[in-house]
């Protein structure tokens, strides 16, 4: 907490550390009243530093300093300065041992950074700057040390004591206490340090690596969760195998551990050999987790595991390089998920998130490049831009180089930089060196914020049988960045003939063999491409597979979109054509009267999707989802949320009514009754039947209601049970809604993950209002200290229940501001994230924008605002 203005940190001010730490010896004495941390560092001057002042500076946060010794001798008060957030020793030798003793209070740590308690266990979260909440230390990722950690605690309360690496010693202590010592042979930055102490059950498995080493795999969870580990364990083994096969990466320690904790700010953390997970991202059983949760768990387990190479063995030089590890690792986990399920569906899901949320971020006040050049609070930069856009940037390199050269590049990167802390530029350089390609202009993707707009116009010359595409790109201004340069964009496309068949593409003056798809490389502000031998005006299929994170501006007609929906060989673009058509239809209704006609061809297109069983059902399940309100809002220049909401609802009602028979048939056809399996086929079936159910209840269909009630009671898995619950909650059957919600809570009240689902179904329901959300916050299961509960009630309301959040009277905005102010006192990271919807006030038309701004100002005026919230609020109000 602070009242003075937080400092900005600049990339341009990066200097190598003046001192290096070769070894860290930690001893934790854990008690109920607090913890004492003894830390002994082997320090030496960095020969590469220009700083020869002899001054050592260590970072700290909320620490009580109990002891300080240099080479075994106590330092006198005049020999050091404890500034609270910094410990300065003005004169130190070239090489020395430093012992620091600190006292901390994990039981009172509500920020969930550093060492804290969750459901009675001790655990840590040190990324990005949490280690300084444990002891004074050079808390920066380019200081890499070997850690030895001894943990001492009461044996009865904390039988399990874990840290990174291998356990090398254990024993009994006086007073019923015991200790375990862990040693991690790999030098690592302190943000990868982890400690866990608790009464946990252990699940064991093993994995034989490609060179025949046997790795001990262990999961630690609270006893009540013992039956929810199998999926994560299987996902882990699949990830390990996949990383060997696709990237040639073998696991390096003899043991790999996963721990589940209930209170966690993010999804999970890749601490070396000891990954710590938010319970909701790792625990699953058929009864308690939905298909989406199973898939998310597989992806996050993979993500954290993949970090062992992309992040841990090769780490970031400074936090401006965060996307070095995050963008690359998200790219890797999305490749993995694609390989485990449906490639097209995975692509659709990734692009939906990117276009809905990352594009909004890139167009808002917190817009920043994939490699930012300044920040106030690094926790605010764990963003969709760093993660998702960062992954798209790596993906474009993959597209430009092709899989083989990309693999050559990643091999070179891992080999060249193993054990180092490096930059995004080192990554690009490795890709360049391995492939011989020049990525100079490509680097702008890392430097320029904002979503490029690619404008495409076409002309067909019948006499010459030539089809010409004129393509221009512009990168919009973002806060603090104007006058941007063209970026290197891989633009995949195909052309379809009037018969729906792909044309062989032959560029005028290019002697490459004709192919049905090409990746054009856009490097200038504008280009023209002429295709020859084109017998009739074709329909272009642009930016196939979403080959670059850009907006495409092309004047599609509805005929063209319908044509692409049924003929494009690119599954992603078939889906995208359907989305564009639906967006066009909904947008055209926003300003039209209540009786305006709804495009009849949309109905027939949806009918075709519902009835043609020859189509890929996983793709159909995706195509049946209308574009979300959030996406429609993102696309609009000055969105009027209520009108958008009504137009979208009208289209849904209309489609559901017109297609009632088809929806019922689709429901019954996919009501398998077979054993629950997680194949993409079965997932598609469940998605289809639950979508059909949702639509039927949307129009209050009586038969749909019967089906939903029956499904709710008969379901043998959470996907179907929640599907039925959600359909009823979003219907006008109020009594059923209340009854089923009660029954659900009674049945699952002891399972926090299921209660979170129960919360979010209600707070996200368009039938729900602010009063109901306030009531949820009064519910016994709501807990301000648990980020998952805060997210599932307040976050879901502001992020998904958009008609209620943007209520005309501004009550949604005032509500959110009130919650942000409240939460900032205990958990600034979550408070800052929660504030995001308000920070986008400039995008909204007059009254709404003003109301949002006023709400934001009430946050700004809070006394003792955290650095986290200060940064997002001030950036949003600036200019």
Q: How far is Cα 709 from Cα 329, in angstroms, rounded to an integer?
A: 42
CB of 303 to Zn ion, least distance (A): 5
Which are the contacts of 127, defined by CB distance < 8 A and separation ≥ 6? 191, 192, 269
Which are the contacts of 686, defined by CB distance < 8 A and separation ≥ 6? 291, 670, 717, 719, 720, 723
Residues that bind ligand 0A1 (CB under 6 A): 125, 127-128, 265-270, 303-304, 326, 379, 382, 829
Question: Taking CB within 5 to 8 Å according to partner kind, which of Zn ion, ligand 0A1, none is near residue 266?
Answer: ligand 0A1
Question: Taking CB within 5 to 8 Å according to partner kind, which of Zn ion, ligand 0A1, none is near residue 127?
Answer: ligand 0A1
Question: Taking CB within 5 to 8 Å according to partner kind, which of ligand 0A1, Zn ion, none is near residue 269?
Answer: ligand 0A1
In terms of CB distance, is 148 or 833 closer to ligand 0A1?
833
CB of 406 to ligand 0A1, least distance (A): 21
Question: Taking CB within 5 to 8 Å according to partner kind, which of Zn ion, ligand 0A1, none is near residue 124?
Answer: none
First to last CA, the chain: 25
Q: How far is Cα 788 from Cα 324, in angstroms, rounded to an integer?
A: 28
In terms of CB distance, is 265 or 788 closer to ligand 0A1?
265
Q: Is 613 exposed, middle or buried (0-12, 13-18, 19+ CB in 10 A)?
A: exposed
CB of 288 to ligand 0A1, least distance (A): 23
Q: Is 874 exposed, middle or buried (0-12, 13-18, 19+ CB in 10 A)?
A: middle
In terms of CB distance, is 303 or 648 closer to ligand 0A1?
303
In the residue annotation, 174 being an active-site residue is answered as no
Structure tokens at 2: 């602070």
CB of 307 to Zn ion, least distance (A): 6
Q: Is 858 exposed, middle or buried (0-12, 13-18, 19+ CB in 10 A)?
A: middle
In terms of CB distance, is 326 or 751 closer to Zn ion?
326
The dihedral built from the CA positions of residue 303, 306, 307 and 308, taken in this order, carries a sign that is: positive
CB 111 within 8 A of CB 129: no
Q: Among the options 127, 129, 298, 304, which is catalytic?
A: 304
In terms of CB distance, is 61 or 326 closer to Zn ion?
326
For the chain, what is the largest distance between any 2 Cα atoms, rounded to a whole number of angstroms? 95
Pairing of strands 539-542, 489-496: antiparallel
Of 320-379, binders to Zn ion (CB under 5 A) are 326, 329
Exposure string of 121-130, with b = 16+ CB inside 10 Å and e = fewer, is bbbbbbbbbb
* DSSP-based three-state secondary structure for 586: helix
Nearest CA-CA partner of 679 in 294, 234, 228: 294
Residues in the chain: 879
Question: Taking CB within 5 to 8 Å according to partner kind, which of ligand 0A1, Zn ion, none is near residue 321?
Answer: none
CB of 194 to Zn ion, least distance (A): 15
**CB-based closest residue to ligand 0A1:** 266
Residue 302: count of CB within 10 angstroms of its CB: 25
Q: How far is CA 40 from CA 99, 149, 164, 681, 824, in A?
A: 4, 11, 17, 55, 34
Q: How far is Cα 265 from Cα 113, in angstroms, rounded to an integer?
A: 8
Size of the site for Zn ion (CB under 5 A): 2
CB of 311 to ligand 0A1, least distance (A): 7
Q: How far is Cα 155 from Cα 185, in angstroms, rounded to an integer?
A: 27
In terms of CB distance, is 62 or 329 closer to Zn ion?
329
Nearest CA-CA partner of 550 in 481, 443, 629, 471: 471
Question: Taking CB within 5 to 8 Å according to partner kind, which of Zn ion, ligand 0A1, none is near residue 379?
Answer: ligand 0A1
Exposure string of 356-380, with b = 16+ CB inside 10 Å and e = fewer, is bbbbbbbbbbbbbbbbbeebbbbbb
In terms of CB distance, is 40 or 308 closer to ligand 0A1?
308
Helices vs strands, H then E, count in the chain: 30, 31
Helices (H), 174-321: 230-247, 291-306
Task: Give DSSP secondary structure letters for 702-764.
Answer: HHHHHHHHHHHHH-SSHHHHHHHHHHHHTSS-HHHHHHHHHHHHHHHTT-HHHHHHHHHHHHT
Q: How far is Cα 526 from Cα 489, in angstroms, rounded to an integer?
A: 12
Of 302-331, binders to Zn ion (CB under 5 A) are 326, 329
Question: Taking CB within 5 to 8 Å according to partner kind, which of ligand 0A1, Zn ion, none is near residue 163?
Answer: none
Q: How far is CA 816 from CA 752, 813, 832, in A?
A: 23, 5, 11
Q: Which residues, listed in sequence order, are joined to residue 229 by a DSSP beta bridge? A: none
CB of 785 to Zn ion, least distance (A): 24
In terms of CB distance, is 488 or 833 closer to ligand 0A1?
833
In terms of CB distance, is 112 or 605 closer to ligand 0A1?
112
CB of 836 to ligand 0A1, least distance (A): 15
CB of 493 to ligand 0A1, least distance (A): 33
In terms of CB distance, is 113 or 576 closer to ligand 0A1?
113
In terms of CB distance, is 100 or 269 closer to ligand 0A1?
269
* DSSP-based three-state secondary structure for 269: strand
Structure tokens at 440: 């100079």
CB of 239 to ligand 0A1, least distance (A): 13
CB of 560 to ligand 0A1, least distance (A): 40
CB of 417 to Zn ion, least distance (A): 18
Per DSSP, 281 falls in state G
In terms of CB distance, is 121 or 300 closer to Zn ion?
300
Q: How far is Cα 219 from Cα 203, in angstroms, rounded to an integer?
A: 5
CB of 112 to ligand 0A1, least distance (A): 8
In terms of CB distance, is 141 or 365 closer to Zn ion?
141
E-strand stretches of 234-389: 255-261, 268-269, 274-278, 315-316, 374-375
Binding footprint of Zn ion on the chain (CB under 5 A):
326, 329
Q: Which residues are catalytic?
A: 304
């Amino acid at each position: 907490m602070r009242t003075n203005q937080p400092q900005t940190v600049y990339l341009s001010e990066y200097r190598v550390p003046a001192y290096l730490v070769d070894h860290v010896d930690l001893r934790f004495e854990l008690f109920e009243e607090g913890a004492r941390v003894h830390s002994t560092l082997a320090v030496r001057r960095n020969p590469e530093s220009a700083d020869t002042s002899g001054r050592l500076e260590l970072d700290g946060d909320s620490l009580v300093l109990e002891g300080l010794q240099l080479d075994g001798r106590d330092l006198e008060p005049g020999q050091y300065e404890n500034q609270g957030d910094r410990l300065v020793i003005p004169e130190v030798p070239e090489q020395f041992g430093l012992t620091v003793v600190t006292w901390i209070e994990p039981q009172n740590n509500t920020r969930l950074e550093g060492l804290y308690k969750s459901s009675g266990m001790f655990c840590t979260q040190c990324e990005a700057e949490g280690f300084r909440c444990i002891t004074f230390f050079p808390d920066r990722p380019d200081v890499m040390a070997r850690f030895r950690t001894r943990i001492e605690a009461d044996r009865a309360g904390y039988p399990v004591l874990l840290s990174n690496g291998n356990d090398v010693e254990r024993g009994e202590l006086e007073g019923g206490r015991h200790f375990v010592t862990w040693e991690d042979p790999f030098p690592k930055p302190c943000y990868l340090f982890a400690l866990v102490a608790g009464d946990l059950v252990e699940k064991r498995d093993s994995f034989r690596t490609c060179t025949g080493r046997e790795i001990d795999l262990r999961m630690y969870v609270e006893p009540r969760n013992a039956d929810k580990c199998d999926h994560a364990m299987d996902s882990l083994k699949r990830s390990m195998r996949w990383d060997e096969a696709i990237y040639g990466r073998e696991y390096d320690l003899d043991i790999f551990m996963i721990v589940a904790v209930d209170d966690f700010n993010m999804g999970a953390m890749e601490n070396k050999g000891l990954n710590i997970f938010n319970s909701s991202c790792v625990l699953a059983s058929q009864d308690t987790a939905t298909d989406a949760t199973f898939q998310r768990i597989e992806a996050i387990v993979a993500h954290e595991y993949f970090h062992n190479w992309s992040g841990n063995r090769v780490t970031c030089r400074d936090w401006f390089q965060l996307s070095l590890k995050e963008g690359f690792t998200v790219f890797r986990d999305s490749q993995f998920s694609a390989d485990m399920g449906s490639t097209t569906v995975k692509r659709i899901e990734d692009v939906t998130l990117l276009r809905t949320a990352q594009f909004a971020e890139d167009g808002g006040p917190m817009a920043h490049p994939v490699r930012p050049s300044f920040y106030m609070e690094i926790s605010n930069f764990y963003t969709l831009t760093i993660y998702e856009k960062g992954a798209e940037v790596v993906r474009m390199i993959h597209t430009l180089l092709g899989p083989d050269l990309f693999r050559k590049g990643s091999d070179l990167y891992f080999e060249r930089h193993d054990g180092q802390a490096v930059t995004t530029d080192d990554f690009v350089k490795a890709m360049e060196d391995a492939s011989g390609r020049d990525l100079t202009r490509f680097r702008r993707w890392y430097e320029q914020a904002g979503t490029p707009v690619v404008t495409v116009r076409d002309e067909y010359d019948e006499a010459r049988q030539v089809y010409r595409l004129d393509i221009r790109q512009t990168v919009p201004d973002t806060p603090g960045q104007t006058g941007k340069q063209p970026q290197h964009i891989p633009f995949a496309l195909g052309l379809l003939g009037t018969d729906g068949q792909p044309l062989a593409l032959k560029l005028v003056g290019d002697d490459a063999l004709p192919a049905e798809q090409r990746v054009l490389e856009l490097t200038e502000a504008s280009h023209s491409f002429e295709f020859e031998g084109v017998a009739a005006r074709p329909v272009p299929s642009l930016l196939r597979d979403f080959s670059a994170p850009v907006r495409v501006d092309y004047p599609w007609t509805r005929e063209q979109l319908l044509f692409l929906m049924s003929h494009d060989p690119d599954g992603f673009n078939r889906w995208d054509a359907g989305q564009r058509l639906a967006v066009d239809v909904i947008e055209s209704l926003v300003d039209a009267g209540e009786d305006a006609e709804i495009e009849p061809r949309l109905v027939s297109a949806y009918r075709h999707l519902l009835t043609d069983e020859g189509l890929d059902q996983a793709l159909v399940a995706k195509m049946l989802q209308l574009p979300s309100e959030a996406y429609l809002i993102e696309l609009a220049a000055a969105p009027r949320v209520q009108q958008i909401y009504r137009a979208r609802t009208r289209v849904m009602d209309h489609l559901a009514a017109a297609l009632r028979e088809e929806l019922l048939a689709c429901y019954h056809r996919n009501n398998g009754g077979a054993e629950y399996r997680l194949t993409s086929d079965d997932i598609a079936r469940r998605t289809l039947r639950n979508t059909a159910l949702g639509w039927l209840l949307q129009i209050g269909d009586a038969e749909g209601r019967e089906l939903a009630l029956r499904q709710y009671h008969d379901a043998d898995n959470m996907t179907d049970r929640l599907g039925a619950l959600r359909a009823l909650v979003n219907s006008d059957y109020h009594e059923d809604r209340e009854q089923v919600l009660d029954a659900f809570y009674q049945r699952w009240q002891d399972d926090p993950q299921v209660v979170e689902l129960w919360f979010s179904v209600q707070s996200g329901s368009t039938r729900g209002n602010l009063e109901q959300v306030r009531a949820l916050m009064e519910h016994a299961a709501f807990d301000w200290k648990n980020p998952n509960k805060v997210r599932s009630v307040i976050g879901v309301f502001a992020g998904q229940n958009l008609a209620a959040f943007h209520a005309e009277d501004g009550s949604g905005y005032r509500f959110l501001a009130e919650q942000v102010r409240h939460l900032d006192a205990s958990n600034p990271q979550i408070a800052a994230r929660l504030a995001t919807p308000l920070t986008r006030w400039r995008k909204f038309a007059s009254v709404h924008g003003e109301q949002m701004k006023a709400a934001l100002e009430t946050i700004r005026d809070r006394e003792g605002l955290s650095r986290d919230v200060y940064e997002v609020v001030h950036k949003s109000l600036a200019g």
